Structure 1
Amino acid sequence: MRIKRDKYLDDLKLRMGNGMIKVITGIRRCGKTYLLFELFGAYLRSLGVDEAHLIEIALDDDQFEDLRDPKALSHHIRERVADDDGQYYVLLDEVQYAMSSEELKDKDSPPRLYGVLNGLLRLRNVDVYVTGSNSKLLSSDVMTEFRGRGDRVHVRPFSFAEFMQAYEGDVYHGWAEYVTYGGMPLACAMRSDEQRARYLEDLFAETYMKDIIARNGIVKTQELDDLIDVLASCIGSLTNPSRIEATFKSELHSDISRNTIYTYIEYLKDSFLIEESGRFDVKGRRHIGSPRKYYFEDIGLRNARLGFRQVEETHIMENIVYNELCLRGYVVDVGVVEKRVRDGKGRQVRKQLECDFVANKGSERLYVQSAFQIPTRAKEEAEKASLLEIADSFKKVVLVRDVLKSRWDENGILTMSVYDFLLDPNSLRL
């Protein structure tokens, strides 16, 4: 199965020779190595780059174990770079293997690897590309430790459009499979549901959980397990550490603290398992603190975590829409729209309506409702209520799972099939 990942390949092409370290981040097993070595490597070779000028090192491979020492890595690369006019491309995969556990725990001193990478930038004929599977190792340090010379590309599991490139059935059966097993590349290549389920369950337990526990020295692993189950069960719902703490006390009889919950959530975000979406007051044009929503980067991993017992399409579709908006480069918040209404006694009171997503990209903004189905006029009115209270002229979209022709109503609100939205990268430019 060969999936074109043109969006990410184009991102790398645009960054070639820009004098910065290209940092490719993403959850483990999402396809970063394939992008870097197979797709980008093939592109470089198509330009005529010869093997002597292409330095590819997979640091998670035992054959490169000796190069996990930053000093040895630097020596190896510099030894291969000749002082000539040719351009050299250094492709380093899973660079966290070149960072010791002591360095990772030290909050005051940067890992030695960062010095190696900064040193390579001083070589006039070297272009550097690295991948990593932990945000604190790279993405959050890019601008500080690389002194403004880091450029991040975040890779996600297959989107629905990428998944459908290799799916042999129709879009409806493809959707049913995608909302269950998600877009992890190896899972998509497997032939049976049993294989996919077992792979995702093992991947979560044996790779992500073990990584998080080992990297952060977690002792109370049961509390981390319980927290992940709580977050997986409430995708698309507002929550915060205080509410989760109350759930732990009332239902799990646990005395886990709010601070521990917050810390564990940060660990899950750092490993790219989950993402956090804040709340934005549309009329007040300001961000609101808590509560927030949490979404999984891959819905198949979320379902596997819950033993495939909570495959409810309403919330899963919202998660998939969130991921797609992020993939397209939007910064995504949960919208809050305040409306004045009269209560039962005729008094004016404030009522908060929710717009699922406020998506911003530069000067562009979108308001998006993930409605799943609109079987009645009353349901349609309820889904559009928050959008009707927004007075600005930015595009307002309602996404439904139904098959329908995109249509505008008299208030300028676009209703679109989620299939059209996901399969056409230009769908929101109507």
Structure 2
Amino acid sequence: MTASRATIAMLLEDFHQSILPSLADEAIRRDLSLGKPPRPKVGNTAKVIVGMRRSGKTFRLYQEILDLRADGVDPGRICYLNFDDDRLRPYDENLIDQVLETFYELHPEARSQGAYLFFDEMQDVPDWGVAMRRILDTEKVTLFLTGSSSRLLSEDVATEFRGRSLSYELLPYSFREFLRARGEEPLSPAALRSKERASRLRGLLRRYLVEGGFPAAQDLDDLERAQLLQGYSQLTVARDVVERFGFSHAAYVRGLARAAITSSGRDVSISRLDSKGRSQGYTPGRAKIAEILDAFEDAHLAYQAYDFSYSAQKIRLGGLKLYAADPGLYWASIPASDDGLAFALETAVYLELRRRRRTGRLGDIAMLKLASGKEVDFIEGDAALDDATALIQVCLDLGRESTRKREVSALQEAMARFGKAEAAIITLEEEGEVPVPEGLIRITPAWKWLLEP
């Protein structure tokens, strides 16, 4: 039985009566900017937030709602509904129209004055894109949407909205947001120069690399956190990968998901994954494995970083790395006997680069395999133009001379290739500079780099 108008009305009013009054004391402000919300009008542009389940998309909508309330917007003009609520299932084909009409019945002034619509977790609602386009074309609204699928949203937006939306990616807490949730955020550059403060931040970084940034996982003990994050992974695979894409052999997909998460920061070979599957009695083939990995990225479970000179052939030969959506998710998935701090650090750096990226194009955050066989962890730039804007190595500890030489020499080769006079090594604690014939390599502790504006 589909949801009744009474159920929809109850959910809409429950937000205003129970959830909204408590938000100011609960929400940790997120740094993802959605820009200034436009005033409601016919023909507005929708704003779409995508990200893994439980990464904080709902609270980012709440943040926007609180800002509207602070600006004096009447709460009767604000409509919020989470479409992932089980009381709305199974979805009626006219559910979105029913929600909007019910809201206007409860708050008739919103239709004439203009409504602010916040629709959460839309990806599974049938024909949602068609309904959203019609609302934008006919109603005086400002529209915010969220979903846990990048591909679904981007494809529907391209088809139905025709340039009438802007997409934003929300990851779990950054290190700065992790500190903010604990009242530890440094609010000025001077705060980073104190030795006592620096020592405190180094210790908190180690916690961040283990605990990660999922909001509900903060300050849980190790067992509780591991169970929660493993549950997030399993839910994402079940709902956003197997169910959405219709993959058979769900057990194989679950195993591949764990392999992807625990491989965070490592080279991945699709050929080796295929061979391992065959040894376990399942032969998906390389094309199917690549399809499943794409589905993991679509669900924001694990991201792919290609070699800078991207090609399908190089991916099959090992020109691919995977990064978990959160260092805590990685840590919760590896065997208890593993010391994964180095890979958690590289994962945290990748995710921060992803937060800071501007172009959103394939290859703008990549790895670089050099002619000598050496490797640079991250290169930012335009592969089509063979142009680099940043070269970054990540190394837990440069204490060994052989390690330092390996990291520096790889950057030197890359600096010479791209004509760059600067490069960076991000470490757990070390700081300094290494002059080289090609220019200067800056060594920066991760706690400081992660807090850069």
Provide the TM-score with structure 2 as the length reference: 0.78
Structure 1 residue 135, shift from structure 2 partner: 1.8
Structure 1 residue 234, shift from structure 2 partner: 2.4
**Alpha-carbon contact 1:365-1:395 (below 8 Å) kept:** no
SS of residue paired to 1:325: helix
Structure 2 equivalent of residue 269 of structure 1: 297
**1:334-368 CA distance string (max 9 Å, x none):** 12332xxxxxxxxxxxx232111112499982111
> Which one of 79, 91, 96 corresponds to residue 70 of structure 1?
96
Structure 2 equivalent of residue 367 of structure 1: 391
**1:21-80 CA distance string (max 9 Å, x none):** 10111100111001102x110001111110122121222235656777234245446665
Letter in 2 for 1:157: P
**Residues 1:248 and 1:83: Cα distance change in structure 2 (over 3 Å):** closer
User: Aligned partners of 2:430, 2:26: CA distance in 1, in Å?
Assistant: 28
Structure 1 residue 381, shift from structure 2 partner: 2.1
Structure 1 equivalent of residue 370 of structure 2: 337
Letter in 2 for 1:51: P
User: Aligned partners of 1:51, 1:86: CA distance in 2, in Å?
Assistant: 12
Structure 2 equivalent of residue 302 of structure 1: 330
**Alpha-carbon contact 2:54-2:214 (below 8 Å) kept:** yes
**Residues 1:311 and 1:134: Cα distance change in structure 2 (over 3 Å):** farther
Structure 2 equivalent of residue 327 of structure 1: 355
**1:153-202 CA distance string (max 9 Å, x none):** 11100111211223478323322322222111100143x22221222222
Structure 1 residue 288, shift from structure 2 partner: 7.6
> Which one of 286, 306, 315 corresponds to residue 278 of structure 1?
306
Letter in 2 for 1:229: R
**1:283-338 CA distance string (max 9 Å, x none):** xx999841211111112222323354434111221111000000112531112332
Structure 1 equivalent of residue 8 of structure 2: none
SS of residue paired to 1:24: strand
Structure 1 equivalent of residue 157 of structure 2: 142
**Alpha-carbon contact 1:25-1:154 (below 8 Å) kept:** yes
> Which one of 222, 229, 236 corresponds to residue 200 of structure 1?
229
Matched, 1:221 2:250: yes
Structure 2 equivalent of residue 155 of structure 1: 170
**Alpha-carbon contact 2:261-2:329 (below 8 Å) kept:** no
**Alpha-carbon contact 1:248-1:255 (below 8 Å) kept:** yes
**Alpha-carbon contact 1:180-1:308 (below 8 Å) kept:** no
User: Aligned partners of 1:286, 1:137: CA distance in 2, in Å?
Assistant: 24
**Alpha-carbon contact 2:53-2:232 (below 8 Å) kept:** no
**Alpha-carbon contact 1:204-1:305 (below 8 Å) kept:** no
Matched, 1:24 2:39: no
**1:76-131 CA distance string (max 9 Å, x none):** 466657587734211111112422xxxxxxxxxxxx21121112222463111001
Letter in 1 for 2:119: L
Letter in 2 for 1:53: R
Letter in 2 for 1:237: R
Structure 2 equivalent of residue 36 of structure 1: 61
**Alpha-carbon contact 1:223-1:256 (below 8 Å) kept:** no
User: Aligned partners of 1:3, 1:296: CA distance in 2, in Å?
Assistant: 25
> Which one of 382, 386, 408 corresponds to residue 406 of structure 2?
382
SS of residue paired to 1:402: coil
User: Aligned partners of 1:394, 1:254: CA distance in 2, in Å?
Assistant: 49
SS of residue paired to 1:7: coil
**Residues 1:275 and 1:358: Cα distance change in structure 2 (over 3 Å):** same
Q: Any gaps of 5 or more consecutive residues in structure 1?
A: 100-111, 339-350, 426-430
User: Aligned partners of 2:152, 2:337: CA distance in 1, in Å?
Assistant: 34
Letter in 2 for 1:136: R
SS of residue paired to 2:370: strand
**Residues 1:77 and 1:394: Cα distance change in structure 2 (over 3 Å):** farther
Structure 1 equivalent of residue 188 of structure 2: none
Letter in 1 for 2:46: I
**1:370-417 CA distance string (max 9 Å, x none):** 02111133322210212212232364111111243x535342211111
RMSD: 3.0
Structure 1 residue 228, shift from structure 2 partner: 2.1
Structure 2 equivalent of residue 176 of structure 1: 206
**Residues 1:236 and 1:206: Cα distance change in structure 2 (over 3 Å):** closer
Larger displacement relative to structure 2 (370-379 or 80-89): 80-89
Matched, 1:13 2:41: no
User: Aligned partners of 2:135, 2:422: CA distance in 1, in Å?
Assistant: 45
User: Aligned partners of 1:402, 1:316: CA distance in 2, in Å?
Assistant: 15
Structure 2 equivalent of residue 347 of structure 1: none
User: Aligned partners of 2:231, 2:296: CA distance in 1, in Å?
Assistant: 17
**Residues 1:287 and 1:229: Cα distance change in structure 2 (over 3 Å):** closer
User: Aligned partners of 1:22, 1:356: CA distance in 2, in Å?
Assistant: 33
User: Aligned partners of 2:295, 2:77: CA distance in 1, in Å?
Assistant: 38
Provide the TM-score with structure 1 as the length reference: 0.81
**Alpha-carbon contact 1:367-1:394 (below 8 Å) kept:** no
**Alpha-carbon contact 2:265-2:321 (below 8 Å) kept:** yes
The number of equivalent residue pairs is 392
SS of residue paired to 2:228: helix
> Which one of 88, 111, 121 corresponds to residue 136 of structure 2?
121
**Residues 1:278 and 1:161: Cα distance change in structure 2 (over 3 Å):** same
Larger displacement relative to structure 2 (180-189 or 132-141): 132-141
SS of residue paired to 1:16: coil
User: Aligned partners of 2:34, 2:183: CA distance in 1, in Å?
Assistant: 29
Q: Percent identity?
A: 24
User: Aligned partners of 1:124, 1:72: CA distance in 2, in Å?
Assistant: 14
User: Aligned partners of 2:270, 2:312: CA distance in 1, in Å?
Assistant: 18
Letter in 2 for 1:139: S
**Residues 1:2 and 1:364: Cα distance change in structure 2 (over 3 Å):** farther
Structure 2 equivalent of residue 93 of structure 1: 120
